[in-house]
Amino acid sequence: MTNWSGTPWVFGKEAFAGLDPNDRQVLADWLATAKPGEVKTICDFTPRPWHLAALEVVIGVFESGRPLASWLLVRYQSCWVLATVDDDAVSEVCDSLTEALGLISGPLPC
């Protein structure tokens, strides 16, 4: 699987283990269609020591040319939110990963 520029995305057995097969496919499809210059890579931050047991999945989304994640996708109690790192905005609760990913290109409804 590759992104728009042909760069391979690797979904190993360990990476994104908190996603069910449907959400893994949603994420892979979204990455494959990410526009040039918008998304460089993603990182599964779930294994980090967050000290919040209720966080089920934390995914960092990195823009091209930026060393830190621009967005964090967080699943909590089977719902998703999107946090923008630059302005500390957090979206309203989304019912699906697809809905949360759709917020990345537009303004967040806070």
81 Cβ neighbours under 8 A, 6+ residues apart:
73, 74, 90, 91, 92, 93, 94, 100
Q: What is the per-residue pLDDT across 14-72, written as a single tens digit (0 to 9) for each? A: 678 889 899 999 998 888 887 766 787 888 888 777 666 677 889 999 888 888 889 99
**Which pLDDT does position 82 carry in this prediction?**
95
Query: How confident is residue 80, by pLDDT bands cut at 50, 70 and 90?
Result: very high
Q: What is the per-residue pLDDT across 61-70, written as a single tens digit (0 to 9) for each? A: 988 888 888 9
C-alpha torsion 11→12→13→14, nearest 10? -100
Flag whether pLDDT at 94 surpasses 60. Answer: yes
**Which pLDDT does position 13 carry in this prediction?**
52
Please indicate, yes or no, whether the overall pTM of this predicted structure exceeds 0.85: no
